[in-house]
Amino acid sequence: MKEDKINGRSSYLRDVGKRFFAHKLALFGLIMLILEIGIVLFLPAILHLDPYSMDIMAFGAAPSPKHLLGCDDTGRDLFARIVYGGRVSLTVGLCSAVISVLVGVPLGLLAGYFRGPIETVIMRCADIFMSFPSMILILVLASVFGQSLFTVTMVIGVLGWPEFARLIYSSVLSVREKDYVESARAIGAKDKEIIVRYILPNSFSPVIIAFTFRTAQAIITESALSFLGMGVQPPTASWGNILYYAQSISILANRPWAWLPTGIVLVITVLSINFLGDGIRDALDTKMVI
Amino acid sequence: MGKYITRRLMIGIVTFFGITVLVYFLSSLAPGTPLEMLFMDPNASKESVQQVQARLGLDQPVYMQYLHWLGQMLQGNMGKSYRTGHLVWADISERIGPTLLLTMSSLVFSLIITVPLGIMSAYKPYSVWDYVSSGISFIGAAIPNFFAGLVLIYLFSVRIRLFPSSGMYDASGSRSIGMMLYHMFLPMLVLSLQQMGGLIRQMRGSMLEVLQDDYVRTARAKGCLEPRVLIHHAMRNAFAPVLTRIGSMIPFLVGGAVVTEQIFAWPGLGSLMVLAINSRDYPVIMGVTVFIALAVLIGNTIVDLLYGLLDPRIRYN
């Protein structure tokens, strides 16, 4: 106990780890995600999965040993498409969440640190973006810029900025008044140094938590967009555009294997990420008693 | 109170115009002009294209186009749809009702479910209620509304034929309210599911906090019955943050309606927006944008007013 208090840093990390591993659901989420990433990375090579080639004997086929989850209308193997779709959906989710952080954090920092007119402009813009349904802006932008994987990722990512800007803004506002920032300023540290060395590290844990939830949200947004036919376009597979075909009532009613597994995988993925986010939140909460 | 409302309203109005500027400029970034969609005929002469362009004002810089559009809009003229040739206002007005009905009833429905659940799970943590609530909130956050829609259609329209899968009325021509509510049930359920998670968590969280407060102990000490303590003393105070939450949920409610309306062929603003975006029908895109922005503005003002009613401190500051 005493030793723990002496090497503060290592005991902080140990506590974080302890709190995280005490969270059963978070552990479940982590394991599921590792499993899933392993599957989408390595399974195609192991099983020689091919999501593009069309089996002309198997248009709309039911599950069989040859095609585990059957085939879509053009004879493409649905199991392979789910696995490849997982690559796309996870990548879009992660990359767009990274973009949201890269856009939102600097803007929030500027607004919170420099105050004045910059603050007004940036935070008012954030208000405007947040009071309009981002789904509609995303639809407009995706139709304007064309529906490639790149634009879908960019659009979802860039439009996610206000959440991060607000988060970092409010924590900067409280951190900048702290004594250690004042003392840094007193010994002549420059703005850039204060931001990078003092303010950013002290306001980063809410960003990490929001990042996890954002990734889950982005995966849902991408799939909704592709479901509406305005996201990732076939032949590239994504979970959303596999589900697109279930809009036809005959596929929905007669071939549940063509859409149900994809949806379930999607839900499990999002659920796992949210569990993970909950675990990280608890783990970083220093006030929580283990 | 008056000052507070005026201030909020000013912010809201700035936001309203901000949104129209945002959407107008974003849609003007499109590489192809909407004229390409109008003139599928490759033989159209350059002159006639230019003529139409001038008539629609598309030969001017974007900010001029925006100011022109704004001037017209404020006079109640939102132009004609490129796609159908109808007045934008006519296309929109017949779709406001269905969307409003769907979103409002799903909001009310999710409150009816989540408020009691949130209260119970805060009152008895780790009880059955608590587990049911956290189950609902995890599932609600993880299941995309379009997939929830597909599953519900599969279960309740295909497997057991209990509810219709699309539209507002059936082919029989009868337009009774009962028929409409019957058609609205599944889409409403889908739209509610996405709201419930956040609401339950908020209700539970603020209720937990309030139950620790001194006035709750005072109420108990003077012999108040538990239900009265919970509802009269605790819930009234715990509800204020939930209201704020509802205010910030309005955009998501509308965004969710876009997808939900599309799945259930619900003839509302959302499905009109998808049609308009697909055909780059800018007057309609802008028209729907104006109405959504207006709805957000009005919704937030109502929330602010209710907040003032609930928390007298706001009225005097």
Task: Give the mutation candidate from A23, A124, A132, A238 for the B interface (greatest B CB count, under 10 A).
Answer: A132
- Residue spans of alpha helices (H) in chain A: 2-6, 8-22, 24-47, 78-114, 116-130, 134-145, 149-158, 161-175, 179-186, 191-194, 200-202, 205-227, 239-244, 249-254, 260-284
Query: What are the structural domains of chain B?
Result: 88-310 (1.10.3720.10)
The shortest C-alpha distance from A136 to chain B (Å) reads 6
B59-118: per-residue pLDDT in tens? 778 888 888 888 888 888 888 888 888 888 888 988 999 999 999 999 999 999 999 999
Q: What is the mean pLDDT of residues B299-313?
A: 80
A45-72: per-residue pLDDT in tens? 888 877 877 777 777 777 877 777 878 7
- pLDDT for residue A3 is more than 50: no
From chain A, the residues in CB contact with B258 under 8 A are 133, 135-136, 139
**Residue B7 CB neighbours (<10 A):** 11
C-beta atoms of A136 and B158 within 8 A: no
Task: Give the mutation candidate from B7, B147, B289 for the A interface (greatest A CB count, under 10 A).
Answer: B147
Burial of B280 (C-beta count, 10 Å sphere; 0-12/13-18/19+): buried
Q: What percent of chain B has pLDDT over 70?
A: 89
- pLDDT for residue B31 is more than 70: no
Among chain B residues, the shortest Cα distance to A223 is held by B144
Contacts of A72 (CB under 8 A, 6+ apart): A60, A78, A81, A242, A245, A258
Cis peptide before A133 (omega within 30 of 0): no
Whole-prediction pTM value?
0.88
- Give the per-residue pLDDT at A90: 94
Question: What is the rounded distance in angstroms from the CA atom of residue A139 to the CA atom of residue B267?
Answer: 19
- Give the per-residue pLDDT at B34: 55
Tokens 């090497």 belong to residue: A7
**Residue B134 CB neighbours (<10 A):** 18
Question: What is the rounded distance in angstroms from the CA atom of residue B16 to the CA atom of residue A119?
Answer: 20
Query: What are the structural domains of chain A?
Result: 2-284 (1.10.3720.10)
- Give the per-residue pLDDT at A2: 45
CB nearest to B154's CB, from A243, A256, A266: A256
Q: What is the mean pLDDT of residues B151-168?
A: 87
Closest CA to B38 of B270, B283, B272: B283
* Main-chain dihedrals φ then ψ at residue B80, nearest 5 degrees: -115, 150
Tokens 């139950």 belong to residue: B211
**Where is pLDDT greater, at A77 or B196?**
B196
- pLDDT for residue A98 is more than 90: yes
CB nearest to A132's CB, from B31, B259, B293: B293
Residue A218 at interface with chain B, using a CB cutoff of 8 Å? no
Q: What is the mean pLDDT of residues A146-175?
A: 89
B238-254: per-residue pLDDT in tens? 888 888 888 888 888 98
From chain B, the residues in CB contact with A124 under 8 A are 14-15, 18
CB nearest to B273's CB, from A136, A224, A267: A136
B217-242: per-residue pLDDT in tens? 888 888 888 888 888 888 888 888 88
Question: What is the rounded distance in angstroms from the CA atom of residue A221 to the CA atom of residue A100?
Answer: 14
Q: Are A56 and A75 in contact (CB under 8 A)?
A: yes
- Give the per-residue pLDDT at B117: 92
Task: Give the mutation candidate from B136, B277, B280 for the A interface (greatest A CB count, under 10 A).
Answer: B277
Q: What is the mean pLDDT of residues A149-173?
A: 91
Q: Are A174 and A206 in contact (CB under 8 A)?
A: no
A75-95: per-residue pLDDT in tens? 788 888 999 999 999 999 999
Q: What is the dihedral of CA B7, B9, B15, B18, to 10 degrees?
A: -100
From chain B, the residues in CB contact with A134 under 8 A are 251, 255
Residue B10 at interface with chain A, using a CB cutoff of 8 Å? no
Residue B100 DSSP label: H
pLDDT confidence of B43, banded at 50, 70, 90?
Answer: low
Residue B11 at interface with chain A, using a CB cutoff of 8 Å? yes
Give Cα A209 to chain centroid, integer Å. Answer: 11
Beta strands in chain B (DSSP E): none
